[in-house]
Amino acid sequence: MISHLGKMLSLVVGGTWAARRHGEQVFGLAVIGDGGTSTGEFHESLNIASVHKIPVLFLIENNHYAFSTPTSMQYNCQRLSDRAIGYGITGRTIDGTDPWIVYSTVCEAIDTMEESLLPVLLECDTRRLCGHAAYDKGTYVPAELMERWQKDDPVIHARHRLAEVCGLTESSIAGIEEAVETEVNDAVTRALAVGRPRVPRQWPVHAEVALLADDARVLINPDLVAESVPLRRLSPRLKRFQAKGVKNGDAVNMALDFLLANQPDAFLAGMDVGVYGSAFKTCKGLVDRYGTDRVIDMPLAESSIMGFALGASQLGAEPIIEFQFADFSTEAVTQLGLNAGTWYFRTGCAAPMLVRLPCGGGLTVGAFHSGEFEGLWSRFPGLKLLYPATPQESYEALLAGFYDPNPCLIFEHKLLYWSRSGDIDFDGDLTAVWRSRRYTEGTDLTLVALGAMVHSSLAAVAQSGSSVEIWNPMVLQPLDLEPIAKSVKKTGRLLVVQESGETQGLGDRLISLLTRECFLSLKAAPELISTPDTPIPFAPELETACRPSQERIRKAITAILSTERLRKVA
Ligand SMILES: Cc1ncc(C[n+]2csc(CCOP(=O)(O)OP(=O)(O)O)c2C)c(N)n1
Ligand SMILES: [Mg+2]
C-alpha cells in the first residue's frame, strides 16, 4: 500500500517468515517514518516478529515531522529505539544523515539478527529539507531550524566526504551524480511508455469508452478478482470424501486436516488454535498432527495476523487464518478489505488465503461476540465470501476457499458447529461448489435464508405445510442468483431470512437484485425477516426476541402467501 501507514510492516514479517521456512537465508527490511511508528501495526508487527523469532530490520526514518506534526506531538519517549525494550529486542539510534554509518549499522544489525533470529529496531535520525509533499511549503517548521538543517544538508556532506576522505575526483563524483539522474529519468521514461490502461471488458461502460481509447497499449488487471476456478495448486489428491453423521464442527476440522495433510505449504494461524484447539474446538488435534510450525498460536493482533498472512501468501505459503470471533475481523478491515482485497487489482499477483469467521448469535455472548458481518465484508471488491450451513457445505466451502487464488472468507455459524449432524459426500469437484443451494422444492414461495436461518426456515416451512422453495445462496460473493431468480419467477413471491440486523446483512441487496430481475413475475412485495438494527443484547430473553424465530418465519410465510399484489399491465 502507498498509504495506510504501518500496514505493510506485518507483510514484511509474514513474507520473511515464509521465505525462511523454505530455507532461504533472508532478512526482512521494513522502513517507516516517525509518524508511522504511532500506528497499531507498528507495535503488533514488532511484537509478532519478536515472539516468533522472525529477523526483520525495522528501520525508522525519523525526520522529526509527520506531515506538519512534530515528534513532540507524536511520541513521549526519549528515543524511538527505546521501544525495543518493550519487545525484548535490540534497538539503536544513529545519525541517519551519514550513509557510511547507516551502511555499517545495517551490516551489524544483520549479524545480530543472524545470531539471535530476533528483529532489530533501528532509528535513523534525519531531517526533512522541504514540505511533506509538493503542495506543502513546510512553513510550520521554525525558520531557524530549517536554516540549520539546510546548512547541514546530508547530500552536500556526503559529496564533501567522497572528495576529502575517499579521494574521489570532481569528475568521478559528477559521474556518480549523472548516473543517478540517468537512472531516475530512465525509470520515468519506462513508466510513461507503459501507456494508459484500457477499460475492462466487463465494466458496463466498456463499449462506450473503448471507442475513445484506441491508443491504449496495456490492460492493467482487468478483473477485480483473480481468475477463479482453475486451481493454481489443485492436487490429484483432491478426491472423493465421505463421512457419515458428522457435526459441522467436525466437518471444519476434517477439511482443515485434509488441507494440512495434503498441502505442505499450508499453515493455520490464529488465537488459541494450537493446544486449545481454537475457541470452538474446530482445530482440535491439529497441532499434535502438524506441529507448532504449521498450527500457529498468534499474539492478539488481528490486523497484523492478516498482514502476516498476506505477506506469507506472496512467498509461497498458503495461509488459513481463524478469527476467534467474526466480530474481531473488524480489527483487520484495512488489511483484509483494503490491502488483501485489492492486492490482485493493484499488483497482478494472486493473494490466496482462507479466512475463517466463527459468527452469529444465539449463545448469549452479547454484542461483541455475536455478529455475522457478512454484510460488511460483502462491500469490499476482491474478496470472495462463502456461508455454508451444513457439514457437507462446510467441508466443500473450506476446500473451495483454500484452493481459490483470492482471499476467501468462510462464515461459520457458531450455533451450527456442534448442534447439527449430517453426512458428507464430496466428489472432489471444486467447480461445483460455487453455487446456490436448494433444500426444498415448492411452487408458492421462494425463501432465501442464510446461515443458521436455513435451519429455522426448514423447520418453519415444515410446520406451515406450504409449498415453499428454500434456498441458501451459500456463495455471498460473487452471488449466484440465477437459479434463485428462476425460482422467484416461478413462485412469484420472495421472503429473505437473515440473522443480521436489517441494514447490516445482505438481505436488502438480495431483494433488490431479485426484484430487478423478477419484477413482472412478483405477486406480492418481497419481505425481509431480520434482527432489528440493534446491538445484540446479553440478556437471553432479549437476544431470543431479537433473532428471527421459527414462529416469526412461519407467520411471515402465511402473511406473504395471503397477499396478492395488484398488477397493472400497461
Ligand atoms: C493510516 C494513515 N493515516 C493517515 C495518513 C495520511 N498521511 C500520509 S503521510 C502522513 C505523515 C507521515 O509521517 P511520517 O511517518 O513521519 O513519514 P514522513 O512523511 O516523514 O516520511 C500522514 C498523516 C496515512 N497515509 N495513513
Ligand atoms: Mg516523518
CATH number reported for the structural domain that contains residue 388 in this entry: 3.40.50.970
96 lines ligand 1 (CB under 6 A): no
| Residue 47: inside a domain | yes
* pLDDT bracket for residue 438 (50, 70, 90): very high
Q: Which residues of 421-457 are buried (b: 16+ CB within 10 A; e: fewer)?
A: ebebebeeebeebbebbebeebebbbbbbbbbbbbbb
Whether 34 and 144 share a structural domain: yes
Is 409 in the same domain as 453? no
pLDDT band at 570 (very low <50, low <70, confident <90, very high): very low
CB of 438 sitting under 6 A from ligand 1: no
Q: For this structure, is 206 an active site residue?
A: no
pLDDT for the residue 229: 42
State in Å: Cα 163 to ligand 1 middle. Answer: 36
**Is the Cβ atom of 130 under 6 angstroms away from ligand 1?**
no
Atom of ligand 1 nearest to the CA of 62: 16
Instruction: Among 205-209, 267-271, 343-347, 429-433, name the one with the lowest average pLDDT.
Output: 205-209
User: Which of these, 428, 265, 249, lies nearest to 353 by C-alpha position?
Assistant: 265
% the chain with pLDDT above 90? 86
CB-based contact 325:293 (threshold 8 Å): no
Residues 346 and 311 in one domain: yes
Residue 189 forms part of a structural domain: no
Averaged pLDDT of the chain: 93
Q: Ligand 1: which of 59, 60, 67, 333 to mutate, judged by most atoms within 8 Å of the beta carbon?
A: 67
Q: List Cβ neighbours of 510 (8 Å cut-off, separation of 6 or more).
A: 448, 473, 479, 481, 496
Q: Do 423 and 450 fall within a single domain?
A: no
Which residue CA neighbors atom 24 of ligand 1 most closely? 4
Q: Is residue 179 part of a domain?
A: no
Kindly state whether residues 376 and 444 are assigned to the same domain: no
Please state the length of the chain. 570
Whether 441 and 400 share a structural domain: no
Confidence of residue 346 (pLDDT cuts 50, 70, 90): confident
Rounded to whole angstroms, how far apart are CA atoms 195 and 57?
Answer: 36
> Which residue, of 152, 173, 188, is where some domain finishes?
152
Q: Is the pLDDT of residue 264 over 50?
A: yes
Ligand 1 atom with the smallest distance to the CA of 334 is 1
| 37 close to ligand 1 (CB < 6 Angstrom) | no
219 domain residue, yes or no: no
Q: What is the pLDDT of residue 236?
A: 54
Residue pLDDT, tens place only, 194-248: 877 777 777 777 666 655 554 444 444 555 566 554 455 555 568 899 999 999 9
Give the per-residue pLDDT at 3: 87
Q: How far apart are CA 392 and CA 371, in angstroms?
A: 23
- The number of the ligand 1 atom at minimal distance from the alpha carbon of 3 is 25
Is any ligand 1 atom within 6 A of the Cβ of residue 495? no
Give the mean model confidence (pLDDT) for residues 259-270.
96
Angle at 499 between CA 368 and CA 433, to 5 degrees: 105
pLDDT in tens, 398-426: 999 999 889 999 999 999 999 989 999 99
Domain region containing 483:
437-562
Known catalytic membership, residue 318: no
Average pLDDT over residues 268-272: 98
Residue 78 Cα, ligand 2 centroid: separation in angstroms?
16
pLDDT category at 484 given cuts 50, 70, 90 is very high
Please tell me whether residues 96 and 136 are part of one structural domain.
yes
Ligand 1 within 6 A of CB of 36: yes
Choose the weakest-confidence range: 93-102, 179-188, 236-245, 537-546.
236-245
pLDDT at 569 over 60: no
**Integer Cα distance of 358 and 375 in angstroms:** 15
- Let me know if residue 137 belongs to a domain: yes
* From 41, 44, 302, 318, the catalytic residue: 302
| Span 161-190, average pLDDT | 96
Say if residue 135 is in the same domain as residue 247. no
- Same domain? For 425 and 454 the reply is no
Decide: 63 in ligand 1 pocket, CB within 6 A: yes
- Give a yes or no: residue 205 inside a domain: no
**pLDDT the model gives residue 235:** 58
| pLDDT tier for residue 563 given thresholds of 50, 70 and 90 | confident
Last residue in a domain, options 152, 184, 201:
152
In a domain, 344, yes or no: yes
* Domain membership flag for residue 361: yes
Domain boundary among 100, 127, 152: 152
What's the CATH number where 526 sits? 3.40.50.920
| Mean pLDDT for the stretch of residues 21-46 | 97
Q: pLDDT category, 456, cuts 50, 70, 90? A: very high
* Rounded Cα–Cα distance for residues 202 and 482 (Å): 18
Higher confidence at residue 192 or residue 200?
A: 192
For residue 212, the model assigns a pLDDT of: 54
pLDDT score of 238: 81
Q: Are residues 324 and 351 in the same domain?
A: yes
Name the domain count of the chain: 3
> Do 392 and 533 reside in the same domain of the chain?
no
Task: Kindly state whether residues 451 and 421 are assigned to the same domain.
Answer: no
